[in-house]
C-alpha cells in the first residue's frame, strides 16, 4: 500500500515537472512570442493597415504582411537577437513550417526601414496605453557608439550625408569620449519611453528641448544639470506650459538643494538606459547605414515598450521586462 502511494506520488511529480518544462519551452518559443507580439501590434494598428495587415498600396500584395515584418522585428529584439544572419538561420532551421511565407533577409531589411513610421506610431500608441496622461516625465541622453574611437576615420556609416553623419562626443556620466550618436529620451516615472530622437554626439542636450515643444505640453520634466538654462526653462513654460525641473549648481547665486523625491524619480530613466544596453544590446551595432541604425534603435525601444505592456496586462511590475514572457 505504501509503495503504491509512493508510485502515484512519483508519477504526479513527473507530470507536474513535464507541464512546467513545457510551459518554459513555450514561453521561450520564438513562434509563441511572435504570435503574442503580432496580436498586440494588430490591436493598436487596426485603423493604420487593411485586413491583410498591410499599408494600403497599389501593385502586388505581399504575402508576408507589413505587420508580420514589424512583429518579427520586435520579436527578435525581445529575444536579444540583434543579428539578422542568426535570426534567419534560426528561422530556416527550426521554424520553416511556422513561417511559410517568410521573405528573404534582404527584403526583410528593406521593408523594415520603409515601415519605420508605422512602427513608431504603433509604439507610441502602446506607450500611451500603458501610462498616457502622466504629468511627470524624466529626460536624459545616452551615447550610441557606432565604432571604437580609434577607428572613427575609417567608419563609413553616414558619411554620405553630413547632416546625419556621426560625430565625436563626450558622455559626462560615463567619463567617456566616443564616436557616434546621442539618444535623447523622455520617459515616464514607470520607465516607459514616450518620445525619443537621435542626434550627432556633439549636439548639446539643450537642443533637444526645442523638439519637445512640438510633442508634449502641460507636463513637468525632470532633468539633470546638462539641461540647466533659465532662458530655455522660461520659453518652455510660456509656450507649452512645460515646467523643467533641473538641479542647481553649487556655485550658483540662487542655489537651492535638490528636492529629494525628484532626484530619486530621475534615476528611473538611467535604469531604462541600462536595460537597453544590457538586455536589448544597444551597445552593439551591426548597421551599415544611418537609416538602418535608427531602425534598429526604434525596434529595441519598441520591443521594450511591448514587454512593458505585457507586464501591465499580466499585473506584473512594468519595469521587469526580462520576465515578461515567463
Lowest model confidence (mean pLDDT) among 22-36, 101-115, 186-200: 22-36
- Which pLDDT score, from 0 to 100, does residue 22 have? 43
pLDDT in tens, 232-277: 888 888 888 988 888 766 556 665 666 666 777 778 888 999 999 8
Query: Does position 31 have pLDDT exceeding 50, yes or no?
Result: yes
Q: What is the pLDDT of residue 23?
A: 38
The pLDDT value recorded for residue 234 is: 85
Confidence of residue 231 (pLDDT cuts 50, 70, 90): confident
Residue 24 pLDDT > 70: no
pLDDT single digits (tens) 41-68: 999 998 999 988 999 888 888 889 999 9
Pick the CATH number of 134-294 from 3.30.2010.10, 2.60.40.1220, 3.30.420.10, 3.40.50.300: 3.30.420.10
Residue 89: predicted pLDDT: 92
Question: Do residues 206 and 227 make contact, with C-beta atoms less than 8 angstroms apart?
Answer: yes
Cell numbers given for 284: 552593439
Domain residue spans of the chain: 2-114, 134-294
| pLDDT at 251 (0 to 100) | 59
The candidate with the shortest Cα–Cα distance to 75, out of 110, 20, 28, 113, is: 28
Distance from C-alpha of 183 to C-alpha of 153, rounded to nearest angstrom = 22
* Pairing status of strand 220-222 against strand 243-245: parallel
What whole-number distance in Å separates Cα of residue 47 and Cα of residue 60? 21
Instruction: Give residue-wise pLDDT tens across range 67-122.
Output: 999 999 999 999 989 888 999 999 999 998 999 999 999 999 999 999 999 999 99
pLDDT confidence of residue 252: 61
Rg (CA), the chain: 23
Q: Does pTM top 0.75 for this prediction? A: yes
Average pLDDT of every residue of the chain:
85
Amino acid at each position: 500500500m505504501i509503495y503504491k502511494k509512493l508510485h502515484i506520488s512519483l508519477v504526479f511529480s513527473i507530470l507536474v515537472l513535464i507541464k512546467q518544462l513545457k510551459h518554459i519551452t513555450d514561453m521561450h518559443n520564438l513562434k509563441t512570442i511572435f504570435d503574442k507580439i503580432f496580436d498586440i501590434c494588430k490591436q493598436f494598428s487596426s485603423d493604420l493597415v487593411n485586413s491583410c495587415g498591410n499599408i494600403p498600396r497599389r501593385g502586388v500584395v505581399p504575402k508576408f504582411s507589413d505587420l508580420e515584418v514589424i512583429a518579427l522585428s520586435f520579436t527578435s529584439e525581445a529575444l536579444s537577437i540583434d543579428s539578422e544572419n542568426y535570426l534567419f538561420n534560426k528561422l530556416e532551421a527550426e521554424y520553416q513550417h511556422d513561417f511559410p511565407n517568410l521573405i528573404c533577409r534582404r527584403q526583410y531589411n528593406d521593408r523594415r526601414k520603409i515601415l519605420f513610421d508605422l512602427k513608431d506610431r504603433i509604439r507610441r500608441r502602446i506607450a500611451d496605453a500603458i501610462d498616457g496622461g502622466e504629468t511627470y516625465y524624466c529626460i536624459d541622453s545616452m551615447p550610441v557608439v557606432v565604432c571604437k574611437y580609434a577607428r572613427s576615420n575609417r567608419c563609413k556609416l553616414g558619411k554620405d550625408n553630413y547632416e546625419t553623419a556621426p560625430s565625436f562626443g563626450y558622455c559626462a556620466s560615463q567619463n567617456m569620449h566616443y564616436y557616434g550618436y546621442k539618444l535623447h529620451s523622455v520617459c515616464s516615472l514607470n520607465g516607459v519611453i514616450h518620445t525619443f530622437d537621435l542626434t550627432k554626439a556633439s549636439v548639446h542636450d539643450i537642443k533637444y528641448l526645442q523638439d519637445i515643444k512640438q510633442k508634449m505640453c502641460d507636463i513637468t520634466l525632470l532633468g539633470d544639470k546638462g539641461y540647466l538654462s533659465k532662458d530655455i526653462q522660461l520659453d518652455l513654460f510660456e509656450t507649452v506650459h512645460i515646467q523643467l525641473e533641473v538641479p542647481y549648481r553649487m556655485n550658483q547665486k540662487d542655489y537651492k538643494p535638490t528636492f529629494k523625491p525628484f532626484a530619486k524619480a530621475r534615476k528611473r530613466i538611467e535604469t531604462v538606459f541600462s536595460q537597453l544596453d544590457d538586455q536589448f544590446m544597444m551597445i552593439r551595432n551591426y548597421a551599415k547605414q544611418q537609416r538602418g541604425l535608427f531602425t534598429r534603435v526604434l525596434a529595441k525601444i519598441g520591443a521594450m515598450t511591448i514587454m512593458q505592456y505585457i507586464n501591465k496586462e499580466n499585473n506584473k511590475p512594468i519595469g521587469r521586462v526580462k520576465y515578461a514572457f515567463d
